[in-house]
Structure 1
Amino acid sequence: MSHQTGITASDDLKEFLSHSRDGGYRLIKIAIQDERLELANSEKPGGTWEQDIL
């Protein structure tokens, strides 16, 4: 997984994304750190979409 800039995903991020395919996460935040894509935060649903948005 890379972008035109050459920034690649970390192994931890790749592992996380491969296990999160079935859903179960409401939010996944990815950040660039040291020229690598890293998982910055993830949140599981706390309720319905409407409840989580408010």
Structure 2
Amino acid sequence: MNFTSNPLEREMKRRPRPRAPRPEKPREGSRCCGCPYWRGIPCGSCFQSLLKKPGGR
């Protein structure tokens, strides 16, 4: 039941849905900056160095 003719009244009655927090980005200049595997903490071994091709090509 609506008490007014305001179209936003229906929105105000809805329960808020929880959203997952976004992971923070690593600091600029750190070795994890730009890593596609960043999940909020540094990993044990650097995946960026493992993804590089052997021989420096």
Q: Same fold (TM over 0.5)?
A: no
TM-score by length of 2: 0.25
Bigger relative contact order, structure 1 or 2, given CA contacts below 8 A and separation 6+? 1
Structure (1 or 2) with the greater helix fraction: 1
Structure (1 or 2) with the greater strand fraction: 1
Structure of larger gyration radius: 2
TM-score by length of 1: 0.26
